[in-house]
Amino acid sequence: MKQTRQRPYRKESKKKNTDPTPEYFKMTPSQHPHDKELVQRREVLEAIQTIQSFLKGRHADKTLLEILDELYTEIEEDS
């Protein structure tokens, strides 16, 4: 009867920790100042949208929502 060698037990898995998002889709600000400014504008616009959706769910003051709308359009027009 032929004996086979057993493989040593591996403590660490050889599987790579894979992120489903490819590298070229990940948002990384470049060193160019204009690119950093665009990323900051996008983040501000996303924050305004988040605040608006939160306030709409809370039946907040209409004037505050209108101010946020004006601020959003002003930032959007500048870019």
CA distances from 65 to 32, 37, 39, 56 (A): 34, 25, 24, 8
pLDDT of residue 24: 53
pLDDT of residue 62: 83
Q: How many CA atoms lie within 13 A of 5 on its CB side?
A: 3
> pLDDT truncated to tens, each residue of the chain (79 aa)?
566 666 666 555 555 556 555 555 555 555 666 677 888 888 889 999 998 888 887 777 788 888 889 999 998 888 6
CB contact at 8 A, 39 and 29: yes
pLDDT of residue 11: 59
pLDDT of residue 77: 86
